[in-house]
Amino acid sequence: MNQQNIEDLWETGKFYFLNNKYDEALKIFEQLLKLEPGNPEVYYHIGLIKEAKNEFSEAKKMFLQTLKLQPKHKNAKKHLNKLLGINEEVK
Amino acid sequence: MSEEKPKTFVVIGLGVFGNQIVRNLSKYNVDIIGIDKDEKKVEEVKDHLKIAIVGDATDTSQLEQAGVNAQDVDVAIVAIGENVEVNVYVSLLLKELGIKKVFSRAVNDQHANILAKIGVDKVVFPEGYVAKHLVSSLLSPKVLDMFSFSDEYSVIEVSSPKMFVNKMLQELGVRTKYNVTVIGIKRKIPIIDEAGETDTKEEIIFVPSPDEEILEGDVLIVVGKNQDIEKFKKVIG
């Protein structure tokens, strides 16, 4: 798969997510996970989808993995703190 | 006439509980005086305090120096947990100083009874509260939060079950079937934030109309009598 196809997958995944099509978005991001296993953004987006579906324990795993790959990922930290009930402002 | 909103608070004891009280209060544009014997604990929240005191709250002169008096302080919160005697003594001292409202933390029932007898305005029992919530969420995974606002009534937040998704409230007949009322819906809205990043924001629909459709991931805020809430919790799994 070339770079253009990967970018198309990203656009499609985000499009589905922004339109509340969580299951469709998840399928796309799971494909991206296979193609870009070291990309923290893929884990972050899967985390957002899981959180939106109220699958909190899976969402936490994804945000933790995002932070493992990119420790300063502000949004992943914000969502993880919220799920863990930590009342800490993310700067 | 409605009661005036409290503006100045003193928090005595800045351990985990006191620390969280200060952090939460500081979001409401109020003045906070914080007192603890431990300098490190004061340091942790000093940015949220109008007056930060490293000192002994059992010493009346130190309290007075910090501005703790009936004219200037509206509410005192005694958050000391590790020493019951000091907690009771300070609570009594604050009542004697004439502070309008004294809220004190209790660590067990006996402690709570003593605080009630010395006339504190509210006894808070954080460990008991947290334990009740934790057990509830462990036994009913779909229940995200709950609180009782009387002996008879409770409010719960529940993750919408699959059987509710894509159905309108009137179609579900929650009130007629389960004798509970959906007073709000928390909904996560996917967005692109100012930095161009994908994110979500939460929207709350208060008193939803009967034709409001439940979406996947919605959290329902439900109120009802305790026995009806329990029945509803069983239905949703």
Domain with CATH 3.30.70.1450 in chain B: 130-236
Residues of A with CB under 8 A from a CB of B: 14, 17-20, 22, 44-45, 48, 51-54, 75, 87
Contacts of B200 in chain A (CB under 8 A): 48, 51-52
Distance CA B12, CA B109 (A): 21
Measured between CB atoms, which of B24, B159, B190 is closest to A20? B190
Domain B8-124 is of which CATH architecture? 3-Layer(aba) Sandwich (3.40)
Beta bridge partners of B227: none
* Digit-coded pLDDT (tens) for B188-236: 999 999 889 999 999 999 999 999 999 999 999 999 999 999 899 888 8
At residue B25, the pLDDT reads: 94
Give the pLDDT of residue A89.
61
Q: Using one digit for the tens of pLDDT, what is the confidence trace for B12-24?
A: 999 999 999 999 9
Model pLDDT, residue B65: 86
CATH class entry, domain B130-236: alpha beta
* Chain-chain contact of B216 with A87 (C-beta, under 8 angstroms): no
pLDDT category of residue B134 using cuts at 50, 70 and 90: confident
What is the number of residues in chain B?
Answer: 237
Per-residue pLDDT of A5-26, as tens digits, reads 999 999 999 999 999 999 999 9
In chain B, which segments carry CATH 3.40.50.720? 8-124
pLDDT at residue number A63: 96
Question: Which of A18, A19, A53 comes nearest B217 by C-beta?
Answer: A53
Q: Domain residues of chain A, as ranges? A: 3-84
pLDDT digits (tens, 9 = 90+) for B35-57: 999 999 999 999 999 999 999 99
pLDDT confidence tier of residue A90, bands split at 50, 70 and 90? low
CB-nearest partner of A18 from B23, B190, B197:
B190
Reported pTM: 0.68
Whether the pLDDT of residue B141 is over 80: the answer is no
Inspect the interface and report whether the beta carbons of B215 and A87 lie closer than 8 Å: no
Return the number of CB contacts < 8 Å for A and B. Answer: 38
Which one of B16, B200, B202, B236 would you mutate to disrupt binding with A, by most A Cβ within 10 Å of its Cβ? B200
| CATH T-level topology, domain A3-84 | 1.25.40
String of DSSP letters for B191-209: EE-TTS-EEEEEEEEES--
Nearest to B200 by CA among A30, A23, A59: A59
Helices A22-35 and A40-52 cross at an angle (nearest 10°) of: 160
Residue of A48, A51, A53 with shortest CB distance to B216: A53
What's the pLDDT at B235?
86
Read off the pLDDT of residues B80-115 as tens digits, 9 standing for 90 and up.
988 999 999 999 999 999 998 999 999 988 898 899
